[in-house]
Amino acid sequence: MVRRRTRRPARGRRGHRLRRQRERHHPRRPYRGSTNSAGEWGHTTVQAGGRRCRCGARGCLEAYVGAEAVLERFRQARRGRTTPGADNESTFAALLTAADTSSAAQRVLEEAAVYLGAGIANLVNLFNPQRIILGGWAGLLFGARMLPRIRETVAAQALRQPYAHTTIGLCRLGPHAVALGAATVPVGRFLTEDAHRPARRPATAPDER
Ligand SMILES: [Zn+2]
Protein backbone atom coordinates (compact mmCIF):
# COMPACT_ATOMS: atom_id res chain seq x y z
CA MET A 1 0.00 0.00 0.00
CA VAL A 2 1.35 3.39 -1.00
CA ARG A 3 0.92 6.12 1.53
CA ARG A 4 0.25 9.41 -0.04
CA ARG A 5 1.87 12.30 1.73
CA THR A 6 -0.34 15.31 1.92
CA ARG A 7 0.93 18.73 2.74
CA ARG A 8 -1.07 20.30 5.50
CA PRO A 9 -1.15 24.06 5.84
CA ALA A 10 1.13 25.24 8.60
CA ARG A 11 -0.66 26.53 11.65
CA GLY A 12 0.10 28.88 14.48
CA ARG A 13 2.97 31.36 14.34
CA ARG A 14 4.77 29.44 11.59
CA GLY A 15 1.63 29.44 9.43
CA HIS A 16 1.16 33.16 10.00
CA ARG A 17 4.80 33.84 9.05
CA LEU A 18 4.50 31.74 5.88
CA ARG A 19 1.30 33.51 4.86
CA ARG A 20 2.98 36.90 5.34
CA GLN A 21 5.95 35.77 3.24
CA ARG A 22 3.65 34.49 0.50
CA GLU A 23 1.66 37.75 0.46
CA ARG A 24 4.88 39.74 0.20
CA HIS A 25 5.93 37.81 -2.89
CA HIS A 26 2.46 37.39 -4.40
CA PRO A 27 0.39 40.28 -3.09
CA ARG A 28 -3.31 39.97 -3.90
CA ARG A 29 -3.96 43.58 -3.17
CA PRO A 30 -4.68 46.19 -5.87
CA TYR A 31 -1.65 48.26 -6.82
CA ARG A 32 -2.29 51.75 -5.43
CA GLY A 33 0.96 53.61 -6.07
CA SER A 34 2.81 55.85 -3.63
CA THR A 35 -0.09 58.29 -3.13
CA ASN A 36 -3.08 56.04 -3.90
CA SER A 37 -3.62 57.45 -7.39
CA ALA A 38 -2.51 54.48 -9.47
CA GLY A 39 -4.81 52.96 -12.07
CA GLU A 40 -5.97 56.16 -13.79
CA TRP A 41 -6.03 54.34 -17.09
CA GLY A 42 -8.64 56.71 -18.52
CA HIS A 43 -6.09 59.52 -18.27
CA THR A 44 -3.31 57.79 -20.17
CA THR A 45 -2.49 59.55 -23.43
CA VAL A 46 -3.74 57.96 -26.65
CA GLN A 47 -3.38 61.05 -28.86
CA ALA A 48 -0.59 63.52 -28.13
CA GLY A 49 -2.05 67.04 -28.28
CA GLY A 50 -5.52 65.59 -28.86
CA ARG A 51 -8.88 66.49 -27.43
CA ARG A 52 -9.07 68.28 -24.11
CA CYS A 53 -9.94 65.95 -21.23
CA ARG A 54 -11.87 66.96 -18.12
CA CYS A 55 -8.63 66.47 -16.14
CA GLY A 56 -7.12 69.40 -18.06
CA ALA A 57 -4.68 67.42 -20.21
CA ARG A 58 -5.03 66.69 -23.90
CA GLY A 59 -5.48 63.37 -25.64
CA CYS A 60 -6.52 61.21 -22.67
CA LEU A 61 -8.27 57.93 -23.43
CA GLU A 62 -11.35 59.17 -21.57
CA ALA A 63 -11.67 62.10 -23.98
CA TYR A 64 -12.23 59.51 -26.74
CA VAL A 65 -14.10 56.64 -25.14
CA GLY A 66 -15.91 58.15 -22.13
CA ALA A 67 -19.70 58.14 -22.60
CA GLU A 68 -19.93 61.94 -22.46
CA ALA A 69 -17.09 62.27 -24.97
CA VAL A 70 -18.72 59.81 -27.39
CA LEU A 71 -22.06 61.63 -27.11
CA GLU A 72 -20.33 64.95 -27.72
CA ARG A 73 -18.65 63.50 -30.84
CA PHE A 74 -22.04 62.36 -32.11
CA ARG A 75 -23.54 65.79 -31.43
CA GLN A 76 -20.70 67.38 -33.42
CA ALA A 77 -21.15 64.86 -36.24
CA ARG A 78 -24.81 65.89 -36.39
CA ARG A 79 -23.83 69.58 -36.50
CA GLY A 80 -25.05 70.32 -33.01
CA ARG A 81 -28.28 68.36 -33.07
CA THR A 82 -28.73 66.49 -29.81
CA THR A 83 -29.82 62.87 -29.45
CA PRO A 84 -33.08 62.30 -27.53
CA GLY A 85 -32.69 60.90 -24.04
CA ALA A 86 -33.53 61.83 -20.46
CA ASP A 87 -29.96 61.25 -19.26
CA ASN A 88 -26.55 60.11 -20.55
CA GLU A 89 -27.47 56.43 -20.28
CA SER A 90 -30.65 56.66 -22.36
CA THR A 91 -28.97 59.03 -24.85
CA PHE A 92 -26.06 56.61 -25.21
CA ALA A 93 -28.52 53.76 -25.79
CA ALA A 94 -30.24 55.90 -28.45
CA LEU A 95 -26.88 56.48 -30.16
CA LEU A 96 -26.25 52.73 -30.30
CA THR A 97 -29.70 52.16 -31.79
CA ALA A 98 -29.12 54.96 -34.30
CA ALA A 99 -26.02 53.13 -35.54
CA ASP A 100 -28.36 50.61 -37.23
CA THR A 101 -29.22 53.25 -39.81
CA SER A 102 -26.97 56.29 -39.26
CA SER A 103 -23.51 56.34 -40.81
CA ALA A 104 -22.54 59.24 -38.50
CA ALA A 105 -23.36 57.11 -35.45
CA GLN A 106 -21.43 54.19 -36.95
CA ARG A 107 -18.35 56.38 -37.48
CA VAL A 108 -18.45 57.71 -33.93
CA LEU A 109 -18.77 54.21 -32.44
CA GLU A 110 -16.05 52.86 -34.74
CA GLU A 111 -13.68 55.62 -33.62
CA ALA A 112 -14.43 54.96 -29.94
CA ALA A 113 -13.90 51.20 -30.42
CA VAL A 114 -10.51 51.79 -32.05
CA TYR A 115 -9.35 54.08 -29.25
CA LEU A 116 -10.66 51.71 -26.59
CA GLY A 117 -8.90 48.82 -28.32
CA ALA A 118 -5.66 50.79 -28.36
CA GLY A 119 -6.04 51.57 -24.66
CA ILE A 120 -6.68 47.91 -23.86
CA ALA A 121 -3.68 46.89 -25.97
CA ASN A 122 -1.57 49.15 -23.76
CA LEU A 123 -2.90 47.32 -20.71
CA VAL A 124 -2.11 43.95 -22.29
CA ASN A 125 1.46 45.00 -23.07
CA LEU A 126 2.01 46.55 -19.65
CA PHE A 127 0.37 44.02 -17.33
CA ASN A 128 0.03 40.78 -19.30
CA PRO A 129 -3.47 40.17 -17.86
CA GLN A 130 -5.34 36.90 -18.14
CA ARG A 131 -8.73 38.55 -18.51
CA ILE A 132 -10.07 42.03 -19.25
CA ILE A 133 -13.69 42.77 -18.38
CA LEU A 134 -15.72 45.70 -19.71
CA GLY A 135 -18.19 46.94 -17.13
CA GLY A 136 -20.29 49.88 -16.01
CA TRP A 137 -23.45 50.90 -17.84
CA ALA A 138 -21.55 52.51 -20.73
CA GLY A 139 -19.07 49.64 -21.05
CA LEU A 140 -21.88 47.07 -21.13
CA LEU A 141 -23.96 48.99 -23.68
CA PHE A 142 -20.95 49.73 -25.86
CA GLY A 143 -19.39 46.28 -25.52
CA ALA A 144 -22.64 44.48 -26.39
CA ARG A 145 -22.42 46.02 -29.86
CA MET A 146 -18.71 46.75 -30.38
CA LEU A 147 -16.85 43.93 -28.60
CA PRO A 148 -15.78 42.16 -31.84
CA ARG A 149 -14.34 45.43 -33.20
CA ILE A 150 -12.60 46.17 -29.88
CA ARG A 151 -11.03 42.69 -29.85
CA GLU A 152 -9.91 43.17 -33.45
CA THR A 153 -8.11 46.40 -32.57
CA VAL A 154 -6.47 44.92 -29.50
CA ALA A 155 -5.26 41.97 -31.59
CA ALA A 156 -3.75 44.38 -34.11
CA GLN A 157 -2.10 46.63 -31.49
CA ALA A 158 -1.00 44.35 -28.65
CA LEU A 159 2.08 42.17 -28.58
CA ARG A 160 1.15 38.76 -29.89
CA GLN A 161 2.44 36.65 -27.02
CA PRO A 162 0.61 38.37 -24.12
CA TYR A 163 -2.55 38.90 -26.19
CA ALA A 164 -2.72 35.18 -26.99
CA HIS A 165 -3.28 34.54 -23.28
CA THR A 166 -5.81 37.34 -22.69
CA THR A 167 -9.57 37.15 -23.00
CA ILE A 168 -11.79 40.23 -23.28
CA GLY A 169 -15.40 39.96 -22.17
CA LEU A 170 -18.33 41.75 -20.60
CA CYS A 171 -18.97 41.96 -16.89
CA ARG A 172 -21.69 39.61 -15.65
CA LEU A 173 -22.28 41.47 -12.39
CA GLY A 174 -24.44 44.15 -13.97
CA PRO A 175 -23.84 47.90 -14.17
CA HIS A 176 -23.07 48.30 -10.44
CA ALA A 177 -20.01 46.02 -10.39
CA VAL A 178 -17.72 48.89 -9.30
CA ALA A 179 -19.76 49.46 -6.14
CA LEU A 180 -19.83 45.71 -5.49
CA GLY A 181 -16.05 45.53 -5.94
CA ALA A 182 -15.54 48.45 -3.55
CA ALA A 183 -17.71 46.71 -0.97
CA THR A 184 -15.47 43.64 -1.08
CA VAL A 185 -12.38 45.66 -0.04
CA PRO A 186 -13.18 45.96 3.70
CA VAL A 187 -14.55 42.39 3.72
CA GLY A 188 -11.34 41.09 2.11
CA ARG A 189 -9.25 43.05 4.61
CA PHE A 190 -11.24 41.62 7.48
CA LEU A 191 -10.81 38.05 6.21
CA THR A 192 -7.11 38.26 5.35
CA GLU A 193 -5.77 40.47 8.14
CA ASP A 194 -8.08 40.49 11.12
CA ALA A 195 -8.73 36.76 10.91
CA HIS A 196 -5.04 36.06 11.49
CA ARG A 197 -4.70 38.29 14.53
CA PRO A 198 -4.85 36.54 17.88
CA ALA A 199 -8.16 37.13 19.60
CA ARG A 200 -8.09 39.83 22.24
CA ARG A 201 -8.32 38.62 25.76
CA PRO A 202 -11.29 40.00 27.62
CA ALA A 203 -10.33 42.66 30.11
CA THR A 204 -9.69 41.14 33.51
CA ALA A 205 -12.01 42.36 36.21
CA PRO A 206 -10.25 43.80 39.30
CA ASP A 207 -11.60 41.08 41.56
CA GLU A 208 -10.13 38.36 39.31
CA ARG A 209 -6.51 39.51 39.78
ZN1 LIG B 1 -7.53 63.14 -18.59
Distance from Cα 44 to the centre of ligand 1, integer Å = 7
Q: Which pLDDT score is estimated for 22?
A: 62
Q: Are 115 and 61 in contact (CB under 8 A)?
A: yes
Distance from Cα 53 to the centre of ligand 1, integer Å = 5
What are the residue boundaries of the structural domains of the chain, listed by start? 43-184
Distance from Cα 125 to the centre of ligand 1, integer Å = 21
Distance from Cα 124 to the centre of ligand 1, integer Å = 20
Q: Which pLDDT score is estimated for 118?
A: 97
Q: Which pLDDT score is estimated for 11?
A: 64
Q: Which pLDDT score is estimated for 147?
A: 98
Distance from Cα 169 to the centre of ligand 1, integer Å = 25
Note the CATH architecture for domain 43-184. 2-Layer Sandwich (3.30)
Q: Which residues of the chain have pLDDT under 50?
A: 1-2, 209
